[in-house]
Structure 1
Amino acid sequence: MRFPKPWSKKRGSRQAGRAIAGTVGEAGFFAAVFLAGVFILALTLAQRFVVGPWPPLATGLGFWTLIALAIAMIGFGGTMLLLGILQIGASSERRNALARRAEEIELIGGTGTEFPAVPRGVNLTDSPGMRLTYRLPATSWPGKRLAAAAALALMWNAVWLVLLVVVIAGFWSQQPRWVLTGLLFPLAGIGVWVLRHYARCLRQTSGVGATIVEIDEHPLQPGGSYRAYVGQLGRMTLRRIRIELICEEESTFRQGTDVRIDRNPVLSQIILDQYDVTIDLGRPWEQEFELKIPADAMHSFRSPHNAVHWKIIVSGEARPWPSFCQSFPVVVQPASPLPRRSPR
């Protein structure tokens, strides 16, 4: 009989523990470290500079030790929390792919002046893929809502802790601030609600996971056929997941003093439409398919007032997680002209 060894490396594809609960717990720990540092810093400064019946705190080794400890806690908690938010929506294999396959990809030069109005798309091929040659970047970051909720929660509760120190200092100096003391209770309720909203956003964003799109060649050409790969990470049940190839015309014009942008789809090709998909942490949803560009399609184009964009859109309707829609731009260059034949 073999007994489990928690210190040993796990084998197979099963998951040890709950990753979502671990992510929420880790974020809560770093947020608590940040707020504790704010409270210690405010309390130390109050003991040093607020006039009261107690003797002021001497600016000796103990004072500077508390200041350094508080600043270190604020910096450590804030930095680790920020790094955790930045990693939301990114797969853990990406850094391994960068280290393993960076030497296999040739440097991509510019297109020259042959097609001056066609985007070069150099930034679309600077990341290697795990399955295919290139991993396409998404146009939007899925952690924007989470970052806003985290900033609001930390700033609101940090201000509340500073006000708490002011109230405590008032009672110590026998000059209580009753109005501020009464305001602490509703402000604390708002702070608890903001923290719960942040935890809910963190849980939802962590559950959805990253969307990965890879392609074997880039840029594309009309009439070409290419291999593509889509992977969806997370732990959720999708009512539907759809992969589309979109060609969109964009017009920029001025109406009075306002600048308006009008977007009209020129081509919408549904590549995959699948229902009732279950995604687990150890087994992401993966799909390889053939991406075909119509031979008579318009190539990518960009000018000051008009543009033609091509993109791969991956959208999903999830429950109980929020639905998602990620856009991955690609560049379609004009078809290469046929070489001239010699009359001989």
Structure 2
Amino acid sequence: MARAWGPLRRAAPALGLFAAARLTGALVLALWARHVGRSPRALLAKSWDSDWYTRIAAHGYGRTLYWPDGAAQSDLAFFPLYPGLVRAVATVLPVAYGTAGLLVSWLAAGAAAWGIYLVGERLAGRPAAVVLVLLWGLLPHSVVLTMAYTEPLMTAFAAWSLYALLTHRWLLAGALAALAGLSRPNGVAVAAAVLTAVAVELWRRRGRAGWRPWAGAALAPAGWLAYVLWVGARRGDPLGGYFAVQDGWTSRFDFGRGALRFVRDMLAGPTRFNLSMALVITAAGVLLLALLVLVERPPLPVLVYTGVLVLITVGGSGFFESKPRFLLPAFPLLLPVARALTRARPRAAILLVAGLAGLSFCYGVYVLTLAHMPL
């Protein structure tokens, strides 16, 4: 029993700081929402994609919105694990689907913070791991971690899968990667990490690694592939149907051409604050990836996971304002900053964290009550 509780006890300071950060952010949002006559619960449980997820949980798939320009946005673009869990909670507990979504997200965010701590502890030591979790909870878009969104769930599976890889638990890593792939489209990054780790293990042992790495590798992409093929079969095009659905949302991978056109147009004229923030945060993500490679030199699976997430974010077209949210699961990007803060003077570290907290809380209020653009 003591051995089982050991990792949780070590993570307790990090989890406490994370909970304090997100509860403070939620309180600031609630106070402002009340001030402007909005419902805090509705903002967290029914905004933007949250509404799609809770509708899928309540009624299943089958909703499509048609727009005057000919675009068709189908709910098949949303992966099934999160709405499935929301439906299960709403079935067991006497709560509405929106509340069930918040419960799932909050529990997942806590599990994600614990997994992030364990990965950070293994890669950079305990002090840096505590700071890593706090930084993740104070990112500008961290309000998403308290909303009925899928990022907390996917990050939880991703963090624990990476920890399983670092401790050579191949079956667990593959199973968690499969669940991550059922959570979000960019959950495929976790499968890429598992396949990379298995390939390295097989190369080191010259193919004599036993059956567990092979089984983990087979499991890892199963969730993502299963949903993509199911949507394709439902649309009458097994290999291309899912990507046609995503195209209806103007979401496609074009190696960054769409994003570059958007940035060019944005810089050519007046733009909104959240679009400028999205550009700054995305550029910071690319810079942090370079620092991760050059300074931290993490294990290859961690680097592959993070790199694939950044590649999907930067190379994808579509909702430019959502790119910072897509980077939320890429928590290893914060490792160089976390390690630097542990070495900095306490006063400087406290000032930086306080400034980041102020930005996080205020920006969360802005994107949910003032921006009027999708997260």
Q: Output the TM-score relative to the length of structure 2.
A: 0.24
Higher strand share: 1
Q: Output the TM-score relative to the length of structure 1.
A: 0.26
Higher helix share: 2
